Amino acid sequence: MIGPVIGVLFDGFAYGMLLFLLSVGLSVTLGTMNFVNLAHCAFAMLGGYVTVTLMNQLTWPFFATLPFAFLAAALVSVLFERVLFRRLYRASDLDQVLLTIGLAFVSVAAAAYIYGTLQQPVQMPPYLRGSVTVAGVSFAAYRLFLIGTALVITLALVGALEYTRFGAQVRAAVDNQRMARGLGINVNGVFAVSFALGSGLAGLGGALAIEIVGLDPSFAFTYLIYVLIVISVGGLGSIGGSFAAATLIGISDVAGKYYLPELGSFLIYLVMLVVLMWRPAGLFGRR
Amino acid sequence: MSAGALASPQAWLRAQARWHPVEVAFWLATLAPYWLFPDYLVLASQIAITALFALSLDLILGYAGIVSLGHAAFFGLGAYTAGLAAKYGWGEPISGLVLGALVAGVVGYAASFIVARFRHLALIMITLGMGLLLVEAANSASWLTGGNDGLQGVKMWPIFNAFRFDLYGVTAYTYALAALFLVFLLARRIIHSPFGLSLRGIRDNATRMPALGAPSRAHLRTIYTIAAVMAGVAGALLAQTTETVSLESLGFQRSADVLVMLILGGTGRLYGGLVGAIIFMVARDQFSGNTPQFWYFWIGMLLIAVVMFLPNGILGGLAKLTASWRRA
């Protein structure tokens, strides 16, 4: 009786951690610059394809590809940020939505052109394929690894944000951009770095997602919706909020699909609408 | 325009509402497909329906500033209502159209109480979420909607008991065009009324309008309901002329496509959605072929280009061009 419940909670939490990695970067960019970047999951998809290419074409081990998934997404995103996005920081929501959704369309078509529209096959190393049984409940090794990675990254992020000089600058920029500029903080520079970091994390998330949800060109849109749900439920610019919301949405989604499969994704949309009606700025949002 | 603005507001509105020769020419040109492209009347009817849908989005997005990523919900509601009515024994087109519009309007009115409370990202997410929720609901109610297979077995009666829906789309185009024109007249009337003017005020400054005594939220609710009714009409037209309804009629893709058309044509200028729908649909018919994903490559490039270089769409660009001519 209790076994399946724990299994669902575990799978849901693992899925939530994946959503957290995918969404935390967008939450920070939206919180700092109010920039609605709907191409965020295109960067995640890029990370996924980097891992697939390195593993299948160059036969690299899975772990060695992860830093490159991170770096590729970070570098490409900062390129776009410098060339295109920064011109639209003061533009309307609608213009930002249109530009970035256009970029997402282009990325989907480019991925379909290069890799085709089929799911990409990947072979995980043997030590991530089995499962660990504790007290009669089995936990998939890969999901344990995913949860571990996400927790380490969360701690590192919170630590960096709370205890470093750069973290203090980011917090200042989120809280009051004008004042931060007035104090001589290079807000644009801080923003470019956090943008790259957030997109890099999305790229890493995209690479880690392959084993759980697969990878095909529609990834940029399918997971965009989940990511937007997570950040709007969690509140903009809040790492803790994103973490809580990702956990909530991940567990609701897995539990909904397990116990009420006929409802499909109904449950998470409902959770989002209810949270937003109750608190339009999200659970941890301040504005 | 600036000279007119100095006169009384009523005079300015009346001057705006006068029919321009270009408008008359545009509507006369919509009759051209009967003679010039008789083989493409089915496509022409789809264009007219899509243009109607884009017009309904323009009312809320272009004039009232409500950015919606879930407008297809009302299109799909109209489509399923009209389709279901015809499937279960009432195939009369015009009453089916009214029924579809009514259902979309009732749901739109209920949703408007939520929508009018939000702005910015929360608004985008709320409209997106409501649209997705409806897709899931339609998908799980497959005993009613046919789910992924679409609604089959829609049988329409002839219009006025005389005009059968034919294979070449003559009746379909006439029917869709007539509906588009009537709804357009209504939209035009709304936009050139004091109510339409105050909508633009809310769009441009959401805090000042209530301070001037305009009931912002009530206005937003009204226009959102009207737009839902119009989208329902468009959806019902599609269901009746194609005699089938698919889940796609509700989906995110349709909401995104109609947004693209409107942006391409130009928001907040009545004809923007119409021009955008014509260009988008003709281009898709000619270029998409059997590789739809590459079609979206060009759509994406187009969106980037429009935002970077043509912020007011094609019609905005043309207006700027003619204005600079006049000055020269």
Burial state string for B148-177 with b = 16 or more CB within 10 A and e = fewer than 16: eebbeebebeebeeeeebeeebbbbbbbbb
pLDDT greater than 60 at residue B2: no
Highest mean pLDDT (candidates B45-59, B204-218, B275-289, B313-327) = B45-59
Please give the tally of structural domains in chain A. 1
Chain A contacts to B (CB-CB under 8 A)? 30, 36, 84, 87-88, 91, 93-95, 97-99, 101-110, 112-113, 117, 217, 221, 225, 228-229, 232, 236, 262-266, 269-270, 272-273, 276-277, 280-281
Residue A47 pLDDT: 94
Quick check: A1 and A231 in contact, CB under 8 A?
Answer: no
Residue A287 included in any domain: no
The two three-digit tokens of residue A20, written as one number: 């957290």
The answer to whether B121 contacts chain A (CB < 8 Å) is yes
| Bridge partners for B163 per DSSP | B159
pLDDT greater than 80 at residue A213: yes
Report pLDDT digits (tens) over A219-236: 888 888 889 889 888 887
Residue A24 included in any domain: yes
Domain range for A54: 2-278
Burial state string for A102-127 with b = 16 or more CB within 10 A and e = fewer than 16: bbbbbbbbbbbeeeeeeebebeeeee
Distance separating alpha carbons of residues A268 and A2, to the nearest angstrom: 23
The two three-digit tokens of residue B245, written as one number: 């309804």
Report pLDDT digits (tens) over A18-34: 999 999 888 877 877 77
* CA–CA–CA angle B178, B182, B184 (5° rounding): 115
Identify which of A104, A117, A273 has the shortest CB distance to residue B129. Answer: A273
Domain containing A30 — which CATH number?
A: 1.10.3470
Residue B6 pLDDT: 57
Q: Mean pLDDT over residues B210-230, rounded?
A: 90
Phi, psi of B151 (to 5 degrees): -85, 120
Chain A and chain B share a number of CB contacts under 8 A equal to: 114
Instruction: Give the pLDDT band (50/70/90) at residue B1.
Output: very low
Q: Is A88–B307 a contact, with Cβ atoms under 8 angstroms apart?
A: yes
pLDDT greater than 50 at residue B94: yes
Distance separating alpha carbons of residues B140 and B179, to the nearest angstrom: 32
Residue A262 included in any domain: yes
* Alpha carbon A101 to chain centroid, angstroms: 17
Specify the range with the lowest mean pLDDT, choosing from A134-148, B81-95, B104-118, B289-303.
Answer: B289-303
Residue A286 included in any domain: no
Q: Mean pLDDT over residues B100-104, rounded?
A: 94
Instruction: Give the pLDDT band (50/70/90) at residue B316.
Output: confident
pTM of the model: 0.84
Report pLDDT digits (tens) over A118-132: 888 888 888 777 778
DSSP for B300-311 reads HHHHHHHHHH-T
pLDDT greater than 90 at residue B312: no
Distance separating alpha carbons of residues A57 and A43, to the nearest angstrom: 21
Residue B4 pLDDT: 47
Q: Mean pLDDT over residues A50-79, rounded?
A: 91
* CA–CA–CA angle A40, A171, A87 (5° rounding): 45
Distance separating alpha carbons of residues A210 and A62, to the nearest angstrom: 11
Residue A14 pLDDT: 92
Residue A287 pLDDT: 54
The answer to whether B178 contacts chain A (CB < 8 Å) is no
Which residue of chain A is at minimal alpha-carbon distance from B67?
A: A94
Report pLDDT digits (tens) over B192-203: 888 888 888 888
Q: Which residues contact B74 (CB under 8 A, 6 or more apart)?
A: B56, B104, B107, B108, B227, B228, B229, B231, B232, B235
Distance separating alpha carbons of residues B202 and B208, to the nearest angstrom: 8
pLDDT greater than 60 at residue B44: yes
Residue B235 pLDDT: 94
Report pLDDT digits (tens) over B128-158: 888 888 888 888 888 888 777 788 877 888 8
Residue A173 pLDDT: 83
Specify the range with the lowest mean pLDDT, choosing from A105-114, A246-255, B29-38, B218-227.
Answer: B29-38
